[in-house]
Structure 1
Amino acid sequence: MAAGEARAQLQYGFYNTSCPGVEEVVRSELKGIFSNDTTLRAGLLRLHFHDCFVRGCDASLMLNSHNATAEKDADPNLTVRGYEAIEAVKAKVEATCPLVVSCADIMAMAARDAVYFSDGPEYEVETGRRDGNVSNMAEALTNLPPSDGNVTVMTQYFAVKNLTMKDMVVLSAAHTIGVAHCTSFSKRLYNFTGDGDQDPSLDPAFAKQLAAVCKPGNVASVEPLDALTPVKFDNGYYKSVAAHQALLGSDAGLIDDSLTGAYVRLMTNDTNLDTFFADFAVSMINMGRVGVLTGTDGQIRPTCGIYVD
């Protein structure tokens, strides 16, 4: 099936007849889950992103491994969280509409609601995805963008998914909520070029704060990706990037490129957040179309983590 055909079969309100009110069911269940663990909001946003970049948005990341070879076993996915939350929502939906709503669509709704419950934009998601039945660790290693990739590298990873440079710089702002482990950026503090040096683009005072928490060899501690407003979905991320206070190399590099840097600076001045919110909604919808299975392709799994023969 061509990508254009797949996109055409996604639609707003896909379940209006087959499972009326399913989006309200998902949001209600997530509201309770987030009240118990606010950190899962960032987790579910990341979960959707990591799923879509490998085989498309088909919930293949949810599949449990039989012998440690599934996507979730790849290094970049070892700190991904939210599997249990998706399963809990799926169980609630199954009780209402058995074998109707895909795990892939629930993941897309959950990412949207994670943004909404973080004071971000409220937008509609297209639905009609079906679940894939293949999950390969090696594909995760080759398809997920590296956390230290420069703008050229990151743009290439996104282009393979038919996403633009603008989508890349917009979707990177998902890092306005959530945290990163020290190991994700310790090279920038202690061994940037392999000679025991520090990344000169890091704000020195900020680097000193990070080093106080992230001692060499610290694999447990985390730092907020947006130190300004770590639990609020806003333009604090772009302000951090502009101030050379981004944790990840992939984020830090955005300010140095003429095109992405111009967008970062524009967003730091977007005081009412209208432009950022509108752009983020569009780019999330674009990402949600990547490699989708629709129609009779794929399947609807009753449990997201278990293969169906």
Structure 2
Amino acid sequence: MATPISSRLKVLAILVVVALVCVQEVNAQTGKGWRRLRPNFYARSCPDAEKIIRQSMENAYQQDPSFPGAILRMFFHDCVVRGCDASVLLDNDDSEKLGAPNANSLRGFEALDEAKANLENVCPGVVSCADVLAYAARDCIELASPGTKVRNWTGGRRDGVVSVSAETLTELPGPFSNFTSLERSFAKKGLNQMDLVVLSGAHSVGKARCGIILSRLYNFKGTGKPDPSMNPAYVAKLKQLCPPNAPGNRIDMEQRSPNRLDVNYYADVEQGRGLFESDNALRTTPAGRWLVRVNKNKRVFDTAFVLAMKKVGNIDVLVGNQGQIRTVCNAVNV
């Protein structure tokens, strides 16, 4: 039997490995602007900026405990397409909002708009929408994972002026992807296998529409049967929540603790209870299985998730005089 000391040493060793894995290739982060991001970016120009954003996130969380999952997803979807430039927030006839992975799916815009409006009242033209979304993501990590404190989160991003729906299809990893495809998509953004498995853990919080899994439940690859890799009891439960004629139903992505960013997700993946095909993909390779097992430790996952989200927040950022600081987040300045 392992002693308490040996168990602690094992966890410490894993944490060291995780930290090294998560920060390796940091120089491969796409774009160079991230080097100009820094903590406390608005300490002088808008001292209450982070408090104002936090208040809007807490208000939204009190109304809907699944809200953090929506913001974490939106942050990832923003940064992976054109970088962390708030292009996902723009409204136009062909915006990212209208892309298939986002249409009628992304939510949480109202809380971001509230935060931005409050910031404009106090510090007009100072805080970018890209940073509003980035700080909102930081806050939602903490709200969904009580006890987790995210330190040294950076600011300094500026807003893009282009948003194209088709780019969501070419840049975002899909819910039907296998491990090789996922690995390739993440690598394009300077993210490694550990980041892939850790960031998939965001599927422990938030909701999804039934339409995305109906074929997996009722007619997997044209067989007329469920995906055989799924736990049969899990299939039965999902069929109750997602009848064939209800693609618009919203369900919890993780059933046991749906409003917590936690490690139950990884136990579910191991047991065939991952909601998406991409979740199941994590257990189809030796590397994926090992990383799933490692992340079942809460200390490991909490540490690795924050590190991976910081890397996401560095992708192809606009800084300095690039882009603009939008007055409202859904439209470019005229």
Tell me whether the two structures share a fold, i.e. TM-score over 0.5: yes
Match of 1:251 in 2: 279
Match of 2:240 in 1: 212
Q: Do the aligned partners of 1:227 and 1:240 also contact (CA within 8 Å) in 2? A: no
- Give the drift of 1:267: 2.2
Q: Which deviates further from its counterpart, 69-78 or 188-197? A: 188-197
Q: Distance in 2 between matches of 1:77 and 1:86?
A: 17
Provide the TM-score with structure 1 as the length reference: 0.95
Q: Do the aligned partners of 1:90 and 1:304 also contact (CA within 8 Å) in 2? A: yes
Amino acid at match of 1:180: A
Provide the TM-score with structure 2 as the length reference: 0.88
Q: Do the aligned partners of 2:214 and 2:247 also contact (CA within 8 Å) in 1? A: no
Q: Distance in 2 between matches of 1:38 and 1:212?
A: 23
Which of 247, 253, 263 is residue 235 of structure 1 equivalent to? 263
Is 1:27 matched with 2:54?
yes
- Give the drift of 1:190: 1.4
Q: Do the aligned partners of 1:57 and 1:289 also contact (CA within 8 Å) in 2? A: yes
Q: Do the aligned partners of 1:112 and 1:122 also contact (CA within 8 Å) in 2? A: no
Match of 1:275 in 2: 300
- Give the drift of 1:28: 1.9
Q: Which deviates further from its counterpart, 207-216 or 277-286? A: 207-216
Q: Do the aligned partners of 2:266 and 2:293 also contact (CA within 8 Å) in 1? A: yes
- Give the drift of 1:238: 0.8
- Correspondence list, 1:5-84, <5 A: 5-65=32-92, 67=93, 69-78=94-103, 79-84=105-110
- Correspondence list, 1:126-275, <5 A: 126-268=154-296, 270=297, 273-275=298-300
Which of 98, 117, 123 is residue 124 of structure 2 equivalent to? 98
Unmatched 5+ stretches in structure 1:
none
Q: Do the aligned partners of 2:56 and 2:111 also contact (CA within 8 Å) in 1? A: no
Q: Do the aligned partners of 2:72 and 2:202 also contact (CA within 8 Å) in 1? A: yes
Q: Tell me the alpha carbon deviations over residues 186-222 of structure 1, each in whole angstroms, 9 at most, x when there is no partner.
A: 1111121212122111001111111122122321222
Q: Do the aligned partners of 1:203 and 1:244 also contact (CA within 8 Å) in 2? A: yes
- Give the drift of 1:21: 2.7
Identity %: 38
Q: Do the aligned partners of 2:56 and 2:112 also contact (CA within 8 Å) in 1? A: no
Amino acid at match of 1:58: D
Match of 1:123 in 2: 150
- Give the drift of 1:14: 1.2
Q: Tell me the alpha carbon deviations over residues 66-114 of structure 1, each in whole angstroms, 9 at most, x when there is no partner.
A: x2x1110111111100111111011111111111110001101101111
Q: Do the aligned partners of 1:182 and 1:220 also contact (CA within 8 Å) in 2? A: yes
Q: Do the aligned partners of 2:198 and 2:295 also contact (CA within 8 Å) in 1? A: no
Q: CA RMSD in A?
A: 1.4
SS at 1:20 equivalent: coil
Amino acid at match of 2:299: D
Q: Do the aligned partners of 2:75 and 2:133 also contact (CA within 8 Å) in 1? A: yes
Aligned length: 303
SS at 2:130 equivalent: helix
- Give the drift of 1:8: 1.0
Amino acid at match of 1:298: G
Q: Which deviates further from its counterpart, 283-292 or 24-33? A: 24-33
- Give the drift of 1:301: 0.3
Q: Distance in 2 between matches of 1:189 and 1:117?
A: 32
